[in-house]
Amino acid sequence: MTAPSAIRAKPRRRRLISRVHVGSTSYAWASIGAAVALYVANVGFQPSFASPGNWASILAVTAPFLLIGMAQALPVLAGNGGLDLSLGPLMGFVTVLIAIELVPAGISAPELLIPVVLAIGFGAGMVNGFLVAFVRLPAIIATLGAYLFYTGFGLYLLPSPSGNVPGWLMHLSRSYGPIPAMLVPLFAVAVFWLLLTRTAYRRNLLAVGGDDRAAYTAGANVALIRCSAYAFGGMLAAVAGLALAATLGSGDSTVGPPYTITSIAAVALGGISLSGGRGGLLGGAAGGAIIFLIQNLLTVANVSVFELDIANGIMLILALALNSFVLARRRTGLAKLELAGRQRLQEAA
């Protein structure tokens, strides 16, 4: 009797594994569809939006939205109310350091500047992660302190936009033939995430975000994984700072803070669970694209800056509400499936 039941259990296990694999990306499908629909709407209102001659400039403006959404996704995935409010100011702070500190010090070649900037971002994120994961400060408190630090210190170093960035960095906002150069950092981040998914890191990150007690019982180093999520998020924010510096052509400490709201809305719109444990960088990028495309539509409609801020606030509230609604529906569905499974086991017994 036991051998046939074991044989019958194997196909069920395979089906379960298949569902988990599909579910690992299915969270972002709706967001990607919405981004495509908004792109079509932008082209309808502004046909030049799809012109190959504008691809480089459009992608240069879009890239910070995509990158900051991906950066915020990592601490959110780590769970326990994970959120990094300092990512926006860190972007602006990176542009300041490049323009008035690193380039004047002779650190301008890409093989020098890029590792230094990535190390700065990684270190900044690690400090936040240490405070959250090891000191156990609430994420919103620890990262709010970092938000104020980068905003204030950036303004102290550079009260108004100025300075210069290397020529090779400015070329990222242009194109090489028909190919926008800004695809390079986006492709690099995609490769970085794909490499991580080939290891146990992503699985452990989602396990910690979904249920840190169960992950700890299974042998995962919860504090270290959660800390690394903030560190990697800071590193991606530094990449976003590079993209922002390429677009601005100078340092600007005031341009970063608004991206914090953008990053939170991008995560929510990207289908990533704000309670952690479900999602990925693809969702953060899709959410960032949605926000950029909506803002571009409003700009084409000659909406004022003040009305744009109102729209951003409404967008954030709706995104958070939609995320909570989807999460509640998902929990209800999982509870029903679990109840049905228990009933089948009882009937089989």
Amino acid at 142: A
Coil, strand, or helix at residue 66?
helix
Q: Which amino acid is at 106?
A: G
Q: Which of 13-27, 119-133, 168-182, 189-203 has the lowest mean pLDDT?
A: 13-27
Q: In this predicted structure, which of 168-177, 202-211, 248-257, 324-333 has the lowest mean pLDDT? A: 324-333
What are the residues whose beta carbons fall under 8 Å from the beta carbon of 68, sequence distance 6 or more?
87, 88, 91, 236, 237, 240, 259, 262, 263, 266, 288
Q: What is the pLDDT of residue 12?
A: 40
Q: Are 123 and 243 in contact (CB under 8 A)?
A: no
pLDDT computed for residue 333 by the predictor: 67
Q: Which residue has the higher pLDDT, 137 or 309?
A: 137
pLDDT surpasses 70 at 5: no
Q: What is the DSSP string of 181-249?
A: TTHHHHHHHHHHHHHHHTSSHHHHHHHHHH-HHHHHHTT--HHHHHHHHHHHHHHHHHHHHHHHHHHHS
Distance CA 315, CA 291 (A): 8
pLDDT tens digits, residue range 213-236? 999 999 999 999 999 999 999 999
Interval 135-157 mean pLDDT = 95
- Considering the chain, what is the average pLDDT of its residues? 86
Higher pLDDT, residue 14 or 321: 321
**How would residue 24 be classed by pLDDT, with cut points 50, 70 and 90?**
low
End-to-end CA distance of the chain: 13
Share of the chain above pLDDT 70, in %: 89
The DSSP result for 242-286, as a single string, is HHHHHHHSSB-TTSSTHHHHHHHHHHHHTT--TTSSS--HHHHHH
Mean pLDDT of all residues in 21-38: 75
- Percent of the chain at pLDDT > 90 equals 60
For the ranges 39-43, 245-249, 305-309, the lowest mean pLDDT is seen at 305-309
> How large is the average pLDDT for residues 50-78?
93
- Take residue 248 and report the two structure tokens written for it: 């601005």
The answer, yes or no, to whether residue 201 has pLDDT greater than 60, is: yes
What is the pLDDT, as a whole number, of residue 25? 60
d(CA 172, CA 56): 8
Sign of the dihedral through C-alpha 24, 313, 69, 247: positive
* pLDDT score recorded for residue 18: 36
pLDDT at 304: 78
Question: What is the C-alpha to C-alpha distance for residues 287 and 181, in angstroms, rounded to an integer?
Answer: 22
> Residue 20 pLDDT more than 50?
no
pLDDT band for 139, please (50, 70, 90 cuts).
very high
Q: What's the pLDDT tens digit per position in 288-340? A: 999 999 999 888 888 877 777 787 788 778 877 877 777 677 667 666 767 77
What the block records as the tokens of 131 is 């405070």
Q: What is the enclosing helix (H) or strand (E) of 49?
A: none
Q: Write down the pTM of the prediction.
A: 0.85
Mean pLDDT of 231-248: 96
pLDDT band at 22 (very low <50, low <70, confident <90, very high): very low
Residue that wins the pLDDT comparison between 40 and 336: 40
3 pLDDT higher than 50? no
Cα torsion angle, 129, 169, 194, 273, sign: positive
Instruction: Look up the CATH number of domain 28-348.
Output: 1.10.3470
